[in-house]
Amino acid sequence: MKKYFLLIFFLLFSSKGYPDNYLFSKIVNLEEPWGSTFLNKDEIIITEKDGKIKIVNINSKNIFEIKHNLNFLNVGQGGLLDIIYQDNNLWVSYSEDRGNGKTSTSIATARLDKKGLNFKNIFQANPPIDSGYHFGSRLAIKGEYLYASAGERGMGMIAQDPKKHPGSIVRIYTDGRIPKDNPKFEGKSDWLPEIYQIGIRNPQGLTLSPHDGKIYLSNHGARGGDWFGEAKKGENYGWKILGWGGTNYSGSKIGPKWKPGFTKAIQYWVPSIAASAITIYKGYEFKEWNGHALITSLKDKSLRKLIFNDLSNVNEEVIFKNKIGRIRDIQVHPYNGKIYFLAGDKLWLMEKNN
C-alpha cells in the first residue's frame, strides 16, 4: 500500500503542469516593461511604461535604448503600451497626451531605425478622457489589417456607445486607412468606422492565432469577470450591462454573467486572476501545446493553458504560479518556440527542464 501511495504521489507531482518541469532564467532587468515583439532570432524590442523603447539581445544580454518622438503621458495605467513588428516597421499603442490632462489610447507607426524612431499617428481613440484607467491595449496584425484593443478608461457604459472608441476592438489597415467591410459599412451606420466590436472593459490581451486565423482577446474584469474570447465583427461583449460574474469594487452587483444577444466568452475567471497578455502557442519547445491558448495573469502571477477546440468542454491547466512575479507580456520565440515573459520588471525565459 505504501509503494502504491508513493507511485500516485510521484505521478501527480511529475505531471506536465508541475513547475519543476520548466527552467526559468532572468535575461535582463527592466523598468515597468509593458510590450514586446521579436525583431529577429536574437533581438526583442520592448516598451517601458515610463516612455523608453529598448532592444535586448537575448544572447549577449546587451540593452540598447532607441530615442523616439511619441507624445505620451505616463499617467496611472498609461504610458507606452504594446509594440509589434513586421517587415521593418513598428507599431506602438500608447497613452497620448491630448492636452489639459486628457489622454487617449493611440497608435503610431515608424520604420525601424536604431538611430531614432520617427513615429506617425494612425489612430486616436476619441473622445480624449481625463482618466488614468483602462487604456487596454494590445495590437495584432492579420494580413493587411491591424487590430487594437482600447479600454473604456473607467467610464463604464461608454463601452456601449459605438460613436465613441473607448471599450472597443478597433480594426484598421496597417497604414491607418479604414476597411470598407467594417461594421459601419455593413449595417451599423451609427458605429465609428474604425470599430470592429464593442462592450469591453480593459482588454489587455490580443493575439492572432497562427492555427485558425482568428483574433482572440482577454479582458481584465472588475472584482471577477476576467475572460478569454474571440473578437467577432459587429458584436458586443456587454460591458457594463453584463458583469461576466464580477462585481463593482464597492461590492455592488453589475449585471448577469451573460445573456442572449451578447458575445459569450470562451472562458471566465471568478474571482479575478487579472488576465493580461495572451498568445496561441505555435512552436517546437512545447510542441504538445500547439493550438492551445496561453493566458498570463497579474494578480495570481500565473500562466494558464486553455484547450478550447471544443467550446463545450474547455480544459484549463495552471502551468505555474508565483514563479516570476506579475506577468505583463508573453512572446513565443519565432524559431525555437521557447517562451519569454515580461514580469516583475524583468525579461524572463522559460524552457523545458530536460
DSSP class per residue in 153-195: TT-GGGGG-TTS-TTEEEEEETTSPPPTTSGGGTT-TTS-TTE
- With residue 11 as reference, give the H or E element that holds it: helix 2-13
What integer best gives the mean pLDDT of the chain?
94
Give pLDDT, residue 19: 58
On the 0-12 / 13-18 / 19+ scale of CB atoms within 10 A, 15 is exposed
- Residue 260 resides in a domain: yes
pLDDT of residue 354: 80
110-150 tens-digit pLDDT: 999 999 999 999 999 999 999 999 999 999 999 999 999 99
- Please report, rounded to a whole number, the percentage of residues in the chain having pLDDT higher than 90: 92
Enclosing domain of residue 251: 30-277
150: helix, coil or strand?
strand
Residue 322 has pLDDT above 70, yes or no: yes
Long-range Cβ pairs for the range 9-17 (8 Å, 24+): 16/288, 16/317, 17/317, 17/318, 17/319, 17/320
Query: Which amino acid is located at 93 in the chain?
Result: S
Retrieve residue 31's grid coordinates.
523598468
Question: Is residue 17 situated within a structural domain?
Answer: no
Mean pLDDT in residue range 67-82: 96
Q: Tell me whether residue 180 is in a domain.
A: yes
Cα separation of 354 and 310, whole Å?
31
Q: What is the CATH number of the domain that holds 138?
A: 2.120.10.30
| pLDDT, average across residues 282-306 | 97
Q: Are 229 and 244 in contact (CB under 8 A)?
A: no
Question: Residue 14 pLDDT more than 60?
Answer: no
Look up the pTM and report it: 0.94
> Can you give the pLDDT at residue 291?
98
15-18 long-range Cβ contacts below 8 angstroms, 24+ apart: 16/288, 16/317, 17/317, 17/318, 17/319, 17/320
Q: Is residue 1 over pLDDT 80? A: no
pLDDT of residue 10: 40
- If we measure between CA atoms, which residue out of 282, 292, 298 comes closest to residue 331? 282
Residue 54 near residue 65, CB atoms below 8 Å: yes
Per the structure, the count of domains in the chain is 1
pLDDT band for position 250 (cuts 50, 70, 90)? confident
- Is 137 part of any domain? yes
Q: Is the pLDDT of residue 313 over 50?
A: yes
Q: Does the residue 257 lie in any domain?
A: yes
Q: Inform me whether the pLDDT recorded for 11 exceeds 50.
A: no
Residue 71 has pLDDT above 90, yes or no: yes
Q: Residue 145: beta bridge partners?
A: 142, 173
- The cell for 5 is 501511495
Which run of H or of E encompasses 207?
Answer: strand 205-208
Cell of 225: 469577470
Query: Does 254 reside within a domain?
Result: yes
> Does the bond joining 19 to the residue before it have cis omega, within 30 degrees of 0?
no
Q: Which three cell numbers stand for residue 136?
A: 487596454
The residue type of 216 is Y
Please report whether residue 305 resides in a domain: no
Residue 20 pLDDT > 90, yes or no?
no
Report whether pLDDT(328) > 80.
yes
Task: Specify the higher pLDDT residue, 63 or 248.
Answer: 63
CA distances from 127 to 40, 153, 292, 299, 354 (A): 37, 11, 37, 30, 52
pLDDT tier at 18 (50, 70, 90 boundaries)? low
Contact predicate 99/150, CB 8 Å: no
Each residue's pLDDT tens digit, 30-66: 999 999 999 999 999 999 999 999 999 999 999 999 9
Q: Residue 313: inside a domain, yes or no?
A: no
